[in-house]
A and B are shown apart, each in its own frame.
Chain A
Amino acid sequence: MKKKRSSWEIIRDILLVIQRRGPHVKPTHILSKSNLSHQMLTLYLGDLQHRGLLVEEQQDEGKRTYSLTEKGFLYLRDAEKVSAFMESYGIEEK
């Protein structure tokens, strides 16, 4: 059985989806790749915007998209280091 993701892992996964697919990613794409319910994704996206890790933008055709901010890129870089560090000591997320 696959383990339940921690809040930190979910945040990292959302930011990774935006980084890989970016710079402007539609919420439907994030939804399909992040394995979250619509309600949970809305909560996480709001939190990440509040923390300044990503920004919501309105495209010409009226569609909403999300992009990583500079702080978001830095957070993701740190998150990868922390993940590698924890993995080397065998204390990766439960």
Chain B
Amino acid sequence: MTLPYISPRWFMGYDIALEFIFAVVALAIAFFGWKAYLMTKQSSARLLSLAFFSIALGYVMQSVFNVMGIIALQENVCRPLRREYFFLFDALGNYAHAFFMMLGFIVLFYMTLRIEKPQLLFVLFGASFLGLFFSATPLLFFFIIAFIFLLMLTIYFVQHYHQKQSSKALLIALAFLFLLLSNLLFLFSITESMFYVLAHLLELVAYVLILCNLWLVLRR
């Protein structure tokens, strides 16, 4: 897999720190979702927990491989080999990130449908992952598919906010709107590296909103 976007040199390291923060927030949601499942035995709570756990794994894998890539750049070997290692870890990180993020989005989307049809889940997984692995530009494919799922999720959460009119529902709707915009910027980061930075900042806003919602719930 070739690098589909370019991170500005000054941003290297910051992106890893941000991905680590996103992973921690996603893990917190996965943990509380699991607690909700244990208490209520509702399958939707289990799906929410699994989805956020998968999203957290996506960020963890990406940041771990990015760290390995940076370490590889400082290895005491010839320059072309260092670059080879860097691109290898970068590609592995991108694949792992795409795989787990897509898994998370699909499970979240399935959760919002409120139907118990495992066949549908199988079709969504199959179509998305076959596309990812056989596409000539896998990351571009990932961002497009992720955009579609995020769009559906955003519509669902906005509609939910309109029904409930609660501040917590608003925070989640806004968070997914920011995730959607961030995903759109990642698509454009292929041509302009500043979009990569902006996409991360929008993602940060989204996870801060998700964290605010969790804080509002827990302080009750």
Contacts and interface: CB of A to CB of B under 8 A. Distances in A.
B42 A85 contact: no
Contact of B39 (A8, A84, A90): A8
A78 B169 CA distance: 19
B44 A78 contact: no
Contacts of A7: 41
Contacts of A84: 168, 216-217, 220
Contacts of B169: 87-88, 90
B101 to A, nearest CB: 18
A85 B36 contact: yes
A47 interface: no
A41 B77 CA distance: 74
Interface in B108-157: 111-112, 114, 156-157
A78 B166 CA distance: 20
B48 A91 contact: yes
A8 B220 contact: no
B83 interface: no
Interface string A80-92: 1110111111110
Interface centre among B39, B156, B172 (most CB of A within 10 A): B39
Contacts of B214: 85
A48 interface: no
B85 interface: no
B35 interface: yes
Contact of A94 (B32, B114, B217): B114
Contacts of B35: 78, 82
Interface in A3-49: 6-8
Interface string A59-94: 000000000000000000111111011111111011
Interface string B152-175: 000011001000101011011000
Contact of A93 (B32, B42, B166, B220): B42
B72 interface: no
A46 to B, nearest CB: 19
A81 B172 contact: no
Closest 3 CB pairs of A and B: A88-B168, A90-B160, A91-B44
Given A84-B217, A86-B36, A86-B45, 6 more contacts: A6-B40, A7-B41, A82-B39, A84-B168, A84-B216, A94-B114
25 contacts: A6-B40, A7-B41, A8-B40, A79-B39, A81-B220, A82-B39, A82-B40, A84-B168, A85-B36, A85-B214, A85-B217, A86-B44, A86-B45, A87-B166, A87-B169, A88-B166, A88-B171, A89-B48, A90-B156, A90-B160, A90-B169, A91-B42, A91-B45, A93-B42, A94-B42
Interface of A: 6-8, 77-82, 84-91, 93-94
